């Protein structure tokens, strides 16, 4: 497996259900969430000692961007660490609201839509070789991103022509273009903004904004891992299938409503293929390139991919322990059978939302996980460690070391993905353009010098 940096940005839904009629601006609520995490007077665009970025995004959404991860497993663990960090802020924020007389309950959800029809995203980032032509990459990867929702979708109940329906993906109906430089006004499958956060002569950052937020670690592992594998295949000159969709955006919507995955989609070469057939074509191309006897992460992924597609061809309910939309679908339909109701029942709509509640005492996903009904790939100990520590094998380690020192020393600082600066020391900004570097003598010198001055004081 080629070295690759990956990262996940998650925008969380936030809501306050008042028990009275008092109006409470969300700006005030989100301010309480960030207290202590972002002390008064410190940068509001906060990077944390674990190398991650935690901040307020457009629309009063808390957003967590994982640190740079050099493995699929690290991305899964640090994505879960973001959930736990936000969850840890709910109780202090709730207490502040109670103390000020705002009675009600505060909730945070790892989903992609609200009751008003707004959407917020889950963005994936992959470092790719600059020598790989971007439009060649986009042409060959867009059909994969469109059709992977059959195992990466989070599922949602929505109203279509006045009737409640279940869809595979939450984001599908909110994507308007195949590629675009915008992430809000004209959401696309691939974002074309060239912002590598690394040496621009060597690397490009592939920014994917079509995906759903996933609760299942297995789904996250599959989503990130298969993308890494296909990008590696392209970088190594592999021939991927000619499955360019005539209308990729329309195909997103069609697939999302086709739970049996039988609809044939029109390709630009006048062929027609279902989403499942397109995924089989990608799998077979990957097996030809890497070999069916491949070991390690890619070998595991190829086996899992084949197992998932085989199950989707038959009885998808057997995937309820690993695929989000299937887990949610089966949970809802078990409830409807017991209660004798249908998708129009408001209790089912509440279940849809509660699946994504990041409070482990309330969230339905975590109920399934506690009952051993969902496959888990991380441990609590790994997640707790990731909440405090950056990956040891990427640039995030340098950033985390720097931030930890600055906070302990009480020194204001300025940090971004590619630079570090401690106020009061050194006029120049320290650039860190190599995302694979986990050691920088300039940072160690800065920290040592600052420590010496601190003790002299």
Q: Is 249 helix (H, G, I), strand (E, B) or coil?
A: helix
* Measured torsion, CA atoms of residues 330, 333, 338, 340, in degrees rounded to the nearest 10: 180
Distances (CA, A) of 144 to 86, 149, 151, 277, 340: 31, 9, 12, 11, 38
- For 119, which DSSP code? B
What the block records as the tokens of 218 is: 């297995």
Catalytic residue among 57, 114, 129, 345: 57
Q: Would residue 357 show up in a list of annotated catalytic residues for this protein?
A: no
Closest by CA position to 325, among listed 181, 218, 169? 169
Q: Within its chain, how far is the Cα of 80 from the centroid?
A: 10
CB 9 within 8 A of CB 35: no
- Residue listed under structure tokens 């939309």: 325
Write out the DSSP string of 167-216. ES-SSGGG--EEEES-SSTT-EEEE-----SS-TTTEEEEEE--PPP---
Residues 6+ apart with CB under 8 A from 274: 261, 262, 263, 264, 265
Bridge partners of 56, per DSSP, are 62
* Cα gap 384→403, rounded to integer Å: 18
Give the whole-angstrom CA distance, residue 171 versus residue 123. 11
The catalytic residues are 57
């Amino acid at each position: 497996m080629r070295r690759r940096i990956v990262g996940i940005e998650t925008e969380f839904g936030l809501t306050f259900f008042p028990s009275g009629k008092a109006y409470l601006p969300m700006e005030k609520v989100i301010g309480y969430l960030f207290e202590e995490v972002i002390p008064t007077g410190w940068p509001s665009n906060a990077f944390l000692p674990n190398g991650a970025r935690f901040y307020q995004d457009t629309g009063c959404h808390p957003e967590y961007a994982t640190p740079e991860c050099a493995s699929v497993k690290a991305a899964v663990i640090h994505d879960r660490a973001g959930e736990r960090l936000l969850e840890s802020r709910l109780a202090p924020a709730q207490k502040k609201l109670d103390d000020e007389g705002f009675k009600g309950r505060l909730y945070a959800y790892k989903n992609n839509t609200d009751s008003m029809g707004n959407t917020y995203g889950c963005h994936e980032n992959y470092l790719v070789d600059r020598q790989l032509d971007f439009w060649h990459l986009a042409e060959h990867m867009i059909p994969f991103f469109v059709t992977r929702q059959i195992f990466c979708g989070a599922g949602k109940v929505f109203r279509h022509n006045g009737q409640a329906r279940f869809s595979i993906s939450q984001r599908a109906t909110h994507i308007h273009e195949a590629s675009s430089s915008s992430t809000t006004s004209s959401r696309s499958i691939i974002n074309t903004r060239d912002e590598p956060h690394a040496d621009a002569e060597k690397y490009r950052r592939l920014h994917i904004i079509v995906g759903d937020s996933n609760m299942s670690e297995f789904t996250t592992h599959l989503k990130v891992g298969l993308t890494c594998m296909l990008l590696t295949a392209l970088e190594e000159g592999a021939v991927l299938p000619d499955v360019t969709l005539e209308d990729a955006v329309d195909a997103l919507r069609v697939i999302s409503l086709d739970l049996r995955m039988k609809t044939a989609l029109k390709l630009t070469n006048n062929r027609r293929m279902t989403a499942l057939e397109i995924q089989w074509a990608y799998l077979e191309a990957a097996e030809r390139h890497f070999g069916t006897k491949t070991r390690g992460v890619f070998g595991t992924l190829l086996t899992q991919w084949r197992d998932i597609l085989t199950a989707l061809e038959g009885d998808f309910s057997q995937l309820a322990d690993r695929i989000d939309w299937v887990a949610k679908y089966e949970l809802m339909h078990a409830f409807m059978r017991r209660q004798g109701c249908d998708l129009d029942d408001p209790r089912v709509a509440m279940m849809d939302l509660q699946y994504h509640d990041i409070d482990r005492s309330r969230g339905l996903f975590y109920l399934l996980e506690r009952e051993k009904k969902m496959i888990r790939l991380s441990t609590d100990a790994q997640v707790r460690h990731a909440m405090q520590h950056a990956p040891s094998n990427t640039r995030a380690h340098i950033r985390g070391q720097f931030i930890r020192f600055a906070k302990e020393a009480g020194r204001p600082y300025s940090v971004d993905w590619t630079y570090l600066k401690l106020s009061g020391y050194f006029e120049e900004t320290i650039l860190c353009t190599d995302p694979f570097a986990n050691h920088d003598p300039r940072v160690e010198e800065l920290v040592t010098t600052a420590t010496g001055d601190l003790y002299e004081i």
